[in-house]
Structure 1
């Protein structure tokens, strides 16, 4: 009998086929709901390896349910906070993640969200479908062009830099802020200009949030920063929901402090029983919402799944997996994750 692997929701076929060449694989088959707690506890029993994805909690209880057979957990995630890595480590179970393979995809998606929000594409789609479009060249519906506008990027890391290139391709000026300012040479090469946080919010026509979630960025955007923005400005968030105070954002939108927002991430997401934005945001027509799909390109998800398979294959063959998150289980020093919390 070969190694046994459990996958708690469907993955790309190309990755599943590779796994089936090396192990017995069981997959939770549904895409219209998350696996329940009792279902998961039952399913992991007797499995040697668990594929982790979809924010499905691999708690100490789940890990214990898979013992003593469990040898490793492979997460299709850069920073899988839904896996209790501490519990796995204390039980000698390896946990792997994946490297950041999402830069170009997430930058592309962020720019798409900027365009969709600026041009009010979801509203235009609804207006036409509901037969409310009554005039050609009507003043009843106007969007915002990106050409000659100022994009302010909060957190100019890899994704922020890739986003800047896309914005510049549309004739936008890019300003940025981050904890450590770039060198003058880097700023010149990237054609970006530094601003203090408050000044960025005052000057930008569109503010795009791309920072890592840390104690300093959690709750960063609240009433004070929102009140600094231009009345015609837009806020875009594809980083982490906890960076924004959603109730403050809803107030800013309802009271006309800013024109609109595009949100792919929220303070509460799956597997929370009531995921998504606060209800007030869903009621506003000037908010574009998407269900955390910044990596949901078919090609990218296949690459992510195949990298996870590589980690599983290494564990099965007794090799050190390339993306080991708890190297102390094999006698190496722990990884330094800095102050990242999500």
Structure 2
């Protein structure tokens, strides 16, 4: 079968797909204009990859498409309504990356609190020439209050690390109560405003939806303690980035740790890159070799199932399967 692979598909998985199918792989191209990509798209029965904007415009050029297999847990790059209208299956790769992203998020908590990146530069640049003073001190993580916005699988894994390893008090805000977190980690459910006012560390880990777009902005940053540390491990669009910059520059919050941005890759003139109290990562939350390989393998499993008339294990738009099997 004809398969279009885009951006991030690990080599062993790509080779396995090529052994059984007609696969064309594309990386670092403009999917709107690249002629070879558009030619492959016109014949593709399946798409596998990361970050391809699958919208109405693209789907009009893909008349044979049966399934789109995202190599990620998030799928805000997919127009699910349009895919469902056309009876095209959409899949993702949940659960596999939970612990890896939780490790990264907690790493940002530690790095911002203890100023690890800043002090690493301080040592390497030869500035450590005498005894340290309190201007170099960070803040404790243990026994502090961690507020988690979005208590899904990853939020739960972060709570586990914080409660069991650092004796932190867990506060959380989510669409629904999470009895598992409350029972296992003594987590306290709060309204968003209450959490923002109470927490020492605030970790945002929601998906990007219409409801969460711009969820944290000027008002929310002003509700936080001036000693609060803000961590964004969700999507760049869940916050108003300029409002975060202003909050940091005006000392409304202490620091921030970021893995995501409004524009990615981040532009080099972005003020976030000039602030010492910000730790910046290149949207690498799930990117360890082990996890990336497992995600590619699961995405290929979803793809193969859909192409061969079986229900993919991680089907997002289940109504398509029902329609195809009436």
TM class, shorter-length = 0.7 to 0.9
8 Å CA contact 1:18–1:309 kept in 2: the answer is no
Q: TM-score, normalised to structure 1's length?
A: 0.83
Q: Which runs of 5+ in 2 are unaligned?
A: none
Q: 1:259 to 1:310 in 2, by over 3 A?
A: same
Superposed displacement of residue 311, structure 1: 1.6
Does 1:51 find its partner at 2:42? Answer: no
Map 1:252-263 → 2, pairs under 5 A:
252-263=247-258
Answer 1 or 2: which has greater helix percent.
2
| Counterparts of 1:164 and 1:88, CA distance in 2 | 35
> How well do the aligned residues superpose, as a CA RMSD in angstroms?
2.6
- The aligned counterpart of 1:130 is 125
* C-alpha distance in structure 2 between counterparts of 1:139 and 1:118, whole Å: 14
Aligned to 1:223: 218
C-alpha deviation, 1:47, in angstroms = 2.8
Offset at residue 306 of structure 1 (A): 0.6
Q: How do 1:124-273 residues align onto structure 2 when only pairs under 5 Å count?
A: 124-168=119-163, 169-183=165-179, 187-269=182-264
Cα deviation, residue 235, structure 1: 0.5
Local SS of the residue matching 1:44: helix
CA contact (8 A) 1:247 1:278 kept: no
Superposition pairs for residues 94-133 of structure 1, below 5 Å?
Answer: 94-133=89-128
Q: Rate the CA distance shift 1:36–1:194 in 2: closer, same or farther, 3 A.
A: closer
For 1:75, the equivalent position in structure 2 comes to 70
Cα distance in 1, alignment partners of residues 144 and 254 from structure 2: 14
Deviation at 1:111, TM superposition (A): 0.2
Deviations 1:58-113 (A, max 9, x none): 3333333333x433322223342323344444444333333333221111111011
**Aligned-pair distance for 1:179?**
3.1
> Do the aligned partners of 2:229 and 2:256 also contact (CA within 8 Å) in 1?
yes
Provide the residue aligned with 1:305 in structure 2. Answer: 296
